[in-house]
């Protein structure tokens, strides 16, 4: 039974491998058939393009000669003989003749029997020239009273045009046949008795069609491509043996499925090794690195295994995590000392302003009042006294910002109400404070951090947000205490990391994050353009403290 249990995974793997190999072989053979069909279509499309290009080139050659004849007809106006007749002799090997009315005014071997007056430009049937033993195609152009006839040797024209476009090899056949079955041009291995009129593709091309087909002809299966040559009504057919195109390649590719089996085995082995020794350790190491970035330094110590390079990478990450943890601890200690020193300096400045500056201003105000009691007191003293009282109020407001004495006496919520009232009185801003849950006092350091976060957020609203409304919400629950400041300002795109806050000049928001970390809370800043900004700080309630100890 144990042997069976031990061999069962191997048998399952062997069965899986056999089925996978069979599937791969079936797919390979099917792909070979699909590849052969694709090759046949590719060759047919290639030959179709070549046939259309050759037919277009033949038509262009004919149109060039028609243009020449039209030009001669125009130049013959008034019965004058064009001067370039002899220069065009090489373009019209079958002869050239010009009539004005019924008078033959220039000729190069052509007579009146060759003239057709049906339309402005016509193509006469092929005529066999006994002198040159060649077929001649006559083109007639009639303009006003001038008639110009030119004869060309179609075999020569077709040969020059087709050879320049179609790659004619030893086994490639090209033929051009007219509507009566007369062979105009032929480059094939067929004998003279072969009937080209019944050849595949000829009938279709004479009907004006363009296409390709595979047909069994002399010598095996051939790829036959055909197209019509307008406006002369000819059929252009290109054919080549299929085996000459793809036979050797397909024979070689038949061995490809046999090579897939060892390749498949090697691929499965490499996949198994890579998954066990590289992919899975790297995935685990990636999760640990993500946790490391979130501050979970202990996760990096869990072994991941894998190849030596991955283990070495984990060792380096572990050393880096220890250095980062030490640096963060030192940074928190330093930031805490700086923050504490800052608060101490604020309290000292507040005391000095209260004990010295405010008292001096009060004494100055009293002296001004005494001076006002004298009969010769100028009326400007009242303005001076009002200015002194305003300075006293401003200094007291500054003292409150430096050292929120209400925070120690009344607690967080009344101090926030006072802060919002001052903001609303001194700026064009509507404010509201909401409270959720059962309100309670927090530790002094926690209330101070919450107050400073609200103070910094409201300062940013006034300076940058261009907001008209701001809501401060404090929520108390058994697990956390949450402070949220939300405005309806223009918003911005916040950085994704804390270090980016300093790079972009958001030092106030960075201070919010640092104060929250020193307190053990979590701060977030969410915003987007034109939808406002929300600053939140969440402080967990310590589990080792009773609820009464928070008051």
pLDDT at 28: 63
pLDDT at 29: 65
Q: Which residue from 54, 60, 305 is spatially nearest to 166, judged by alpha carbons?
A: 54
pLDDT at 500: 66
Q: DSSP string spanning 446-502?
A: HHHHHHHHHHHHHHHIIIII--SEEEEEEEE-SSEEEEEEEE-S------SSHHHHH
CA angle 507, 493, 460 (to 5 degrees): 45
β-pairing verdict for 183-187 and 211-217: unpaired
Residue 299: count other Cβ atoms within 10 Å of its Cβ.
16
pLDDT at 14: 47
Q: Is 124 helix (H, G, I), strand (E, B) or coil?
A: coil
Helix 308-352 and helix 507-519: axis angle, to 10°?
Answer: 100
Dist. CA 262–CA 266, nearest whole Å: 6
Dist. CA 345–CA 350, nearest whole Å: 8
Strands (E), 261-319: none
CA-to-CA dists, residue 455 to 409, 440, 450, 505, angstroms: 18, 20, 9, 18
Question: What does the DSSP 8-state code read for residue 196?
Answer: G
CA-to-CA dists, residue 313 to 52, 276, 280, angstroms: 64, 17, 14
Please name each of the domains of the chain with its CATH number: 1-254 (no CATH), 407-550 (3.30.565.10)
Six token digits for residue 242:
């299929």
pLDDT digit string, tens, across residues 378-412: 888 788 878 888 887 777 677 666 666 677 778 88
Dist. CA 419–CA 195, nearest whole Å: 108
pLDDT at 391: 83
List, for the chain, all residue ranges whose pLDDT scores fall below the cut of 50.
1-8, 10-11, 13-14, 112, 117-119, 193, 545-551
Residue 75: count other Cβ atoms within 10 Å of its Cβ.
18
Contact 54, 165 (CB under 8 A): yes
Q: What is the number of alpha carbons within 13 Å of residue 77 lying toward its C-beta?
A: 6
pLDDT at 251: 55
CA-to-CA dists, residue 61 to 89, 273, 546, angstroms: 15, 67, 104
pLDDT at 273: 67
pLDDT at 111: 53
Q: DSSP string spanning 54-81?
A: HHHHHHHHHHHHHHHHHHHHHHTGGGPP
Dist. CA 55–CA 229, nearest whole Å: 5
pLDDT at 472: 92
Q: What is the number of alpha carbons within 13 Å of residue 370 lying toward its C-beta?
A: 6
């Amino acid at each position: 039974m144990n042997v069976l249990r031990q061999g069962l995974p191997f048998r399952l793997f062997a069965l899986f491998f056999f089925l996978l190999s069979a599937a791969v072989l079936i797919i390979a053979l099917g792909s070979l058939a699909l590849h052969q069909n694709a090759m046949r279509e590719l060759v047919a499309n290639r030959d179709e393009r070549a046939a259309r290009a050759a037919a277009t080139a033949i038509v262009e050659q004919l149109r060039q000669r028609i243009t020449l004849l039209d030009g001669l007809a125009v130049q013959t106006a008034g019965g004058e003989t064009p001067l370039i007749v002899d220069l065009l002799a090489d373009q019209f090997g079958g002869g050239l003749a010009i009539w004005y009315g019924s008078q033959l005014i220039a000729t190069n071997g052509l007579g009146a029997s060759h003239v057709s007056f049906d339309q402005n430009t016509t193509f006469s049937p092929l005529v066999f020239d006994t002198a040159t033993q060649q077929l001649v195609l006559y083109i007639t152009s009639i303009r006003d009273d001038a008639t110009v006839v030119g004869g060309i040797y179609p075999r020569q024209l077709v040969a020059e045009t087709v050879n320049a476009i179609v790659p004619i090899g030893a086994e490639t056949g090209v033929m051009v046949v007219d509507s009566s079955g007369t062979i105009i041009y032929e480059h094939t291995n067929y004998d003279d008795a072969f009937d080209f009129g019944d050849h595949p593709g000829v009938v279709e091309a004479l009907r004006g069609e363009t296409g390709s087909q595979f047909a069994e002809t002399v010598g095996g299966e051939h790829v036959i491509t055909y197209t019509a040559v307008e406006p002369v009504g000819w059929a252009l057919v290109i054919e080549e043996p299929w085996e000459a195109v793809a036979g050797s390649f397909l024979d070689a590719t038949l061995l490809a499925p046999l090579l897939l089996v060892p390749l498949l085995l090697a691929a499965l082995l490499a996949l198994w090794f890579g998954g066990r020794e590289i992919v899975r350790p790297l995935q685990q190491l990636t999760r640990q690195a993500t946790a490391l970035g979130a501050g979970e330094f202990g996760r990096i110590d869990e072994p991941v295994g894998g190849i030596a390079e991955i283990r070495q990478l984990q060792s380096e990450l572990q050393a880096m995590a220890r250095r980062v943890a030490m640096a963060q601890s030192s940074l928190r200690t330093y930031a805490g000392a700086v923050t504490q020193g800052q608060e101490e300096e604020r309290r000292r400045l507040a005391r000095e302003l209260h004990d010295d500056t405010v008292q001096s201003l009060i004494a100055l105000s009293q002296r001004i009042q005494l001076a006002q009691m004298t009969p010769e007191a100028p009326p400007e003293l009242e303005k001076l006294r009002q200015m002194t009282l305003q300075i006293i109020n401003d200094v007291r407001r500054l003292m409150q910002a430096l050292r929120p004495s209400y925070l120690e006496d009344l607690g967080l919520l009344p101090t926030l109400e006072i802060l919002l009232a001052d903001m609303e009185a001194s700026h064009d801003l509507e404010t509201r404070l909401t409270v959720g849950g059962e309100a309670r006092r927090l530790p002094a350091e926690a209330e101070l951090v919450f107050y400073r976060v609200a103070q910094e957020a409201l300062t940013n609203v006034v300076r940058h947000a261009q907001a008209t409304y701001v809501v401060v919400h404090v929520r108390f629950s058994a697990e956390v205490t949450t402070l949220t400041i939300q405005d309806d300002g223009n918003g911005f795109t916040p950085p994704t990391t804390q270090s980016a806050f300093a790079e972009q000049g958001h030092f106030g928001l960075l201070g919010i994050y640092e104060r929250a970390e020193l307190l053990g809370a979590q701060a977030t800043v969410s915003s987007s353009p034109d939808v406002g900004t929300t600053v939140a700080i969440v402080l967990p309630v310590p589990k080792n403290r009773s609820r009464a100890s928070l008051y």
